[in-house]
Amino acid sequence: MSDQFTIRRAEGDDAGRIHEMAESSMTASYALSPRDIEQIVEAEFGEAEQRRRRDSEDYAAFVAEADEDGVVSGVVLVDGDDDTVRRLHVDPERRGMGIGTALYERAVEELDHGHGTGHQAAAMAANNTAGAFFERFGLERVEERTLDVGGRETVEYVYAEEADAANGDGTAAGEDDGEGETAAEIDTDEFPDAVETDGETVYLGDDPVSGTEGAFVPTYLDDGLNEEYGYYCGNCDSTDVSMDSMERLRCANCGNTRKPDEGYDDAYL
């Protein structure tokens, strides 16, 4: 607990504020369209869904309430059925106060009172900050799965404690023992010279970078490679690749990701 906010169980009267805050959090930190965000928030934080979770013995939700004005400033969901911390959201205007850390620690404390088999965390691949956040607590990504959230196909990453995630050779479960090809190892001959996207031709450049699932290749609007367009995903042949404020590349089609070399901004903590 902090002298700035109090962590408590979510109540029925919190439903509207939780919905509003989750939408603000996703808008600030998720590489998704406003329509997709609205659809996901309604599916996961709509009034009916929040009521269902409150009535279930397998779920718990905790909020951070600001001591100064009583405003709910963060929320985390706990799934006791599979010992998972889910959907941690903090009001973008109140980040940097330790709310995310306090909510996560309270969620883990709740799970420790349950099965006691070790916890895991889950976050959508579109969340630009979750991976680095969970890594601060000794978790690493061990699984990728596809979910249906409100009728929308959504990629979710699962994070687990390193001791639970290791294979016999010390690598993470579900992962190989490398970090993808280096730029020098990527064979650019396997990629096309140009692709069609949104009714126009874009041309692939000569400076690929490695990703978690395959290479990313810069694209241009002219064959002279002067006018930049974006990136081509070598894993699924898509050009639906976004770059966030941390300069991380992510393919919206398959979840292929490239993290920048710089450290993570811990404002979310």
Give the model confidence (pLDDT) of 18-45 as tens digits.
999 999 999 998 988 899 999 999 999 9
Q: CA 232, CA 107: separation in Å to the nearest integer?
A: 39
Strands 84-90 and 120-124 come out as parallel
**Pair 40, 157 in one domain:** yes
The CA distance from 149 to 172, in Å, is 27
Distance CA 139, CA 132 (A): 9
Domain assignment present for 22: yes
User: Is the same domain home to 11 and 59?
Assistant: yes
Q: Same domain, yes or no, for 158 and 64?
A: yes
Claim to verify: residue 163 and residue 197 sit in the same structural domain = no
Range of the domain at 229: 183-258
Indicate whether 41 and 158 sit together in one domain. yes
On the question of pLDDT at 166 being above 50, the answer is no
142 lies in the same domain as 27: yes
pLDDT tens for residues 56-79?
Answer: 888 889 999 998 889 999 999 998
**Within a domain: 57:** yes
Q: With respect to residue 174, please indicate whether it lies within any of the assigned structural domains.
A: no
Q: Please give the structure tokens belonging to residue 56.
A: 């279930």
Q: Round to whole Å and give the CA distance between 34 and 27.
A: 7
Q: Are residues 80 and 206 in the same domain?
A: no
Say if residues 43 and 150 touch (Cβ distance below 8 Å). yes
Mean pLDDT for 165-179 is 40
Report whether pLDDT(148) > 60.
Answer: yes
| Residues 107 and 134 placed together within one structural domain of the fold | yes
Q: Does 266 have pLDDT greater than 60?
A: no
126, 227: one domain = no
CA 140 vs CA 90, 133, 164: distances in Å: 21, 10, 10
Last residue of a domain, one of 116, 138, 167: 167
Looking at the structure, do residues 37 and 117 belong to the same domain, yes or no? Answer: yes
| Listed residues 123, 140, 167: the one ending a domain | 167
CA distance 98 to 16: 23
104 domain residue, yes or no: yes
Q: How many domains does the chain have?
A: 2
Computed on alpha carbons and rounded to an integer, the radius of gyration of the chain in Å comes to 20
Domain identity same for 150 and 188: no
| pLDDT (0 to 100) of residue 179 | 43
Percent of the chain with pLDDT over 90: 39
Indicate if 30 and 152 belong to the same structural domain. Answer: yes
